[in-house]
Structure 1
Amino acid sequence: MITVERYHDISMGHRVVGHESKCRHLHGHNYRIHFVCSASELDPLGRVIDFSEIRDRLCMWLEEHWDHRMMIWSEDPLLPELQRLVPGDLCIVPFNPTAEQIAIHLVSVVGPEQLKGSGITLLECRVEETRKCSAAYRL
């Protein structure tokens, strides 16, 4: 299998509901998100996909939907107050926003939506919260 990889950096806040330590507080990261794509065959130029297509389909999705926003779980008890205070700053998701859950969501929901009809699969996503800490999900 041949794969290609491109990463994109965003800044985003979140909190992990129920976390036993400081991640239970509102805080943020400079995330680095790696997209690994594959195809059943190479295109006529010998590529899986042009790197600019990954940028346009996946990286720009991150920019539009998550960059410089606060990711909040739809069941977070702080959600009603945050919606009252900063409704346009929120990215409400159906999962507790751990790096693991973010990676799963990108591969299983965002990738298929953004790559639909291209013949390309988002095979893996690695979400780096810091240089030392990351989580990955692979199909």
Structure 2
Amino acid sequence: MITAERYHDISCGHRVVGHEGKCQYLHGHNYRIHFVVEAMELDSVGRVLDFSVIKEKLCLWLEDNYDHKFLIWEKDPLLTQLQQITAESLVVVPFNPTAENMAKYLVEVVAPQQLADYPCRLIHCKVEETRKCSATYTL
């Protein structure tokens, strides 16, 4: 197995429902998200996947869907009130938006759709909320 990795930086907000501390409140992060793609063999040029394809399919997906938006869980009790205030900046997600759940969703849901036309798969995603705090999901 051979892998290729690329990261991308975005800024977005969230809150973690049920959190015991500060993360229960509306806040945001400058996220760094690392993508690791694997292939069983290299293409004719000698690559897992061209880095520009990772950028186009995964990094730009983050830009279009999460960057400068607010991730809110579909079961968040504040959803209705926030939709009344700023619906255009909300991204309603099917998970409590922890770094762990974000990484899992990117690997299991987003990447299979975005990379469907390529002979590779996203096997690892690391979501850094800060330089000190991150979560990783690996297949």
Matches within 5 A, 1:106-125: 106-125=106-125
Tell me the amino acid that sits aligned with residue 39 of structure 1: A
Q: Deviations over 1:40-72 (max 9, x none)?
A: 110001100110000000000000000000000
Matches within 5 A, 1:32-51: 32-51=32-51
Asked if 1:136 is matched to 2:136, the reply is: yes
Counterpart secondary structure, 2:54: helix
Q: Distance in 2 between matches of 1:31 and 1:117?
A: 27
Q: Distance in 2 between matches of 1:43 and 1:24?
A: 46
Counterpart secondary structure, 1:86: helix
Q: Distance in 1 between matches of 2:57 and 2:120?
A: 11
TM-score (norm 2): 0.99
Aligned length: 139
User: Corresponding residue for 1:22?
Assistant: 22
Tell me the amino acid that sits aligned with residue 126 of structure 1: K
User: Corresponding residue for 1:59?
Assistant: 59
- Percent sequence identity over aligned pairs: 63
Q: Which runs of 4+ in 1 moved over 6 A?
A: none
Q: Distance in 2 between matches of 1:114 and 1:87?
A: 25
Counterpart secondary structure, 1:118: coil
Matches within 5 A, 1:79-118: 79-118=79-118
Q: Distance in 2 between matches of 1:47 and 1:133?
A: 31
Alpha-carbon RMSD: 0.5
Q: How far off is 1:117 after superposition? A: 1.9
User: Corresponding residue for 1:127?
Assistant: 127
TM-score (norm 1): 0.99
Structure 2: unaligned runs, 5 residues or longer: none
User: Corresponding residue for 1:74?
Assistant: 74
Structure 1: unaligned runs, 5 residues or longer: none
Q: How far off is 1:98 after superposition? A: 0.4
